[in-house]
Amino acid sequence: MSFFSFELDPALAADPVFELHKHGKMAIAPTVPLASRDDLSLAYTPGVARVCEAIAEDPALYADYTWTANTVAVITDGSAVLGLGNIGPKAAMPVMEGKSILFKQFGGVDSIPICLDTQDTEAIIATVKALAPSFGGINLEDISAPRCFEIERRLDAALDIPVFHDDQHGTAVVTLAALRNAAKLLGRRLGDLRVVISGAGAAGVAITQALIAAGVEGANVIVCDSRGIIHAERGDLTPIKAELAAATNISGRTGGIAEALIGADVLIGVSGGAIAESAVSQMAPDGVIFALANPTPEVPPAIAHKYAAIVATGRSDFPNQINNVLAFPGIFRGALDCGASTITEGMKVAAAEAIAGVVADDLRPTAIVPSPLDPRVAPAVASAVVAAAIRDGVARRARPATSPVSVTL
């Protein structure tokens, strides 16, 4: 086996991060023996032709006799990668590889990273539709807003397999799980919380939708973008933000983040912009601050703890890490296992409830969500997703006996 080689800066060559990433972080391996002529005859020609003919006669056999029932495409255009921004498809590949190995490690789901050399909405949609027969699900990743909303919506409508933009819904699911447990610790109802969301990109929109679907009153939610509070009288709103304005901030509050936070119980930051301590100090006492920007939270934890009873970040070096790995492996595990044709709002809410439930017996202010390494999470999420898919009428088959739980349709 040979790889392209090049001279690397000695300092980088000695860096353990670069050493770990050398030649990538994943590979494809056969699952059947190829040690004899009989093995070749079964796995390839002539035996494979019989399977092809059977699928041609009955396409329903496709999921049983190919890898598709357990394989997801992880697709990006490199336009919004982590906190790095629009770095393009080649620079995005290490992140997509990382996503793929997380799928495998935590959900037992195989996945292929695909970095598209286009940021044109129509080209991305057409390409993913053309690739879809090779996969059982599509995980869209690191595609910038507002294009990500249309891409996901149209692909979900066009394809009969799950399409999931993790930057939106993975973040929303884990945030909802954390807020459920925070409210429980504080003896509060979701419906009574006054929530401010700083950021109206992919994550901010999805979090707003998830919280309202779970019982937070839209009237009690205020969303802020870089220009301030989103309200119906603003003339600069995109269609997505106009929908937010119609569903939230019913009192019509105006101004910036400082005005939004007056009397708020909850601050959820997904904007990457710093929020002044003077604004945070106007929140109601014993509240909740989720400052999720990485690597620099919108509110430093030391300041957040001065004004909130419960604090979470997106970082692994502080308690209560809001990490998407708690959601997407189990969500896809469940969706694939029951042959879900789509991922419904009910499935997302069920996933959040399952994540919250994992730590229900050991709930405390520094542990409102499980560790990303907790082996209980993905099976719990998968089971809840299957049950919700059945309730929502999108499950098409019983869960395989090899999965963590068994469900009979």
The catalytic residue positions are 44, 99
* Token pair in block for residue 305: 């703890």
Element (H, E) at 228: strand 228-229
Q: What is the distance between the alpha carbons of residues 283 and 42, in angstroms, rounded to a whole number?
A: 67
For 377, the enclosing helix (H) or strand (E) is helix 377-391
What are the two backbone dihedrals, phi and then psi, of residue 211, each rounded to the nearest 5 degrees? Answer: -65, -40
Neighbouring CB atoms inside 10 A of 217's CB total: 17
The DSSP letter of residue 112 is E
Q: How many residues does the chain have?
A: 409
Nearest-angstrom CA–CA distance, 1 and 3: 7
- 3-class DSSP state for residue 292? coil
Cis status, amide bond into 297, omega within 30 of 0: no
Burial of 149 (0-12, 13-18, 19+ CB in 10 A): buried
Of residues 378, 314, 388, 305, the one with CA closest to residue 347: 388
Q: How far apart are CA 301 and CA 10, in angstroms?
A: 36
Distance of alpha carbon 292 from alpha carbon 84, whole angstroms: 15
For 34, which DSSP code? -
Pairwise CA distance, residues 238 & 204, whole Å: 14
**Distance of alpha carbon 106 from alpha carbon 100, whole angstroms:** 10
Take residue 372 and report the two structure tokens written for it: 């990303």
Q: How far apart are CA 157 and CA 213, in angstroms?
A: 21
Secondary element (H or E) of residue 93: helix 88-107
Closest CA to 75 of 111, 101, 104: 111
